[in-house]
Chains A and B, each alone.
Chain A
């Protein structure tokens, strides 16, 4: 069992506006996920979902360090990445409702969040599938000298996939501008990471590829942002690739139908206390950047606009028969 990092969030170097922006984005992700969970429980939204409550700091910290022209690849657990990269609640919710106005025209659903204008290719549900893809994108950026960076999100489960090792090694030998981001939430489905790895951290395994990997407190949005910032700067300066291991915790079941009994209760409770949003909120209040009431108001405002988006989603047009043959290759 890995204990949560206990350090206080150090926000001293940042302005209130920037910090409140991070806070708002994280709350946006949390309330989106919670709202979607209840839509599923009501039966309003079909299918299953993979959610990222508790991992908001990873998505927000990394995407804040990127330029709008940089690209990300994401996974089946991709709602947070999408919101952090600037996709709208509407286009995502409409997609979850299977509407033609959704970000993938209603054909992708929860596991295929995409917006090519905002730098997000359709998220990839194959574990580690994004790793060689991101390496290839970064190779293109390098060959075309575009100055762009690819950021590739995946979980601890991806480390045991062949595609991960092939993709990372190719990126390393070609020195391409890609930041690999492993959200180590300690579980790949029902398997604890310690059962599939002998090394103490994922980061140290990257040294065999000549990449300087680091383990970061993934529930501290500032620590994530700063590490991502350094990694992105390195990549842009031609010193890529970079690797970040963000230590966090998967507090929901793997998907909606997973009761999560394999997570020991004391471990869960300990990690739930190190909530990334609560931690930043406390730091903001202590520093006098916001009052508890103001932070509550932020949440309420986000909730109200989410509810409005749900109402809009319910009346969006569904794809028609004619849409069946569009966006199809071969």
Chain B
């Protein structure tokens, strides 16, 4: 599956993979996906800026598994910032495809922590 994915950079910080690639081998622009087009995206979830210093947070544990369906607002990851242990909520609804952030590691704010397959509206 990953091989036929082609990366598209969305205008605003949100990076997405779109598929399938159409017969011309090009990708629909993300802007088109809003117009009721049925399309799946791999949403690359970046670590939100939850620390008070803005730099790094410790990844504690995954709260959902690969393959799990997750809802918008669901706590999916436990982290520890310079101040507190807290849960990270998913900004999108979909199916968790891959965990990038590994427990007991430190990740910077803005680094990709998970790939979530979403169905665009």
State the A residues within 8 Å of B (CB).
34, 37-44, 46, 256-259, 261, 307, 311, 314
Contacts and interface: CB of A to CB of B under 8 A. Distances in A.
Given A40-B49, A42-B48, 17 more contacts: A34-B73, A37-B89, A38-B72, A38-B73, A38-B91, A41-B48, A41-B88, A41-B90, A43-B14, A43-B48, A44-B12, A46-B49, A257-B52, A257-B81, A258-B84, A259-B83, A314-B12
A256 B46 CA distance: 16
B13 A261 contact: no
A311 B85 CA distance: 33
Contacts of A38: 72-73, 91-92
Contacts of A41: 48, 88-91
Residue among B49, B52, B72 with the highest chain A CB neighbour number at 10 A: B49
Interface residues of B, number: 26
B59 interface: no
Contacts of B87: 259
The 7 closest A-B pairs by CB, nearest first: A259-B86, A41-B91, A38-B91, A259-B84, A42-B91, A41-B48, A43-B13
A256 B14 contact: no
B51 interface: yes
Chain A interface secondary structure, helix, strand, loop or mixed? Answer: helix
Contacts of B81: 257
A314 B48 CA distance: 19
Contact of A40 (B48, B83, B92): B48
Nearest to A310: B12
Nearest to B51: A257
A65 to B, nearest CB: 32
A42 B13 contact: yes
Interface string B40-69: 000000101111100000000000000000
B2 interface: no
B88 to A, nearest CB: 8
Nearest to A255: B52
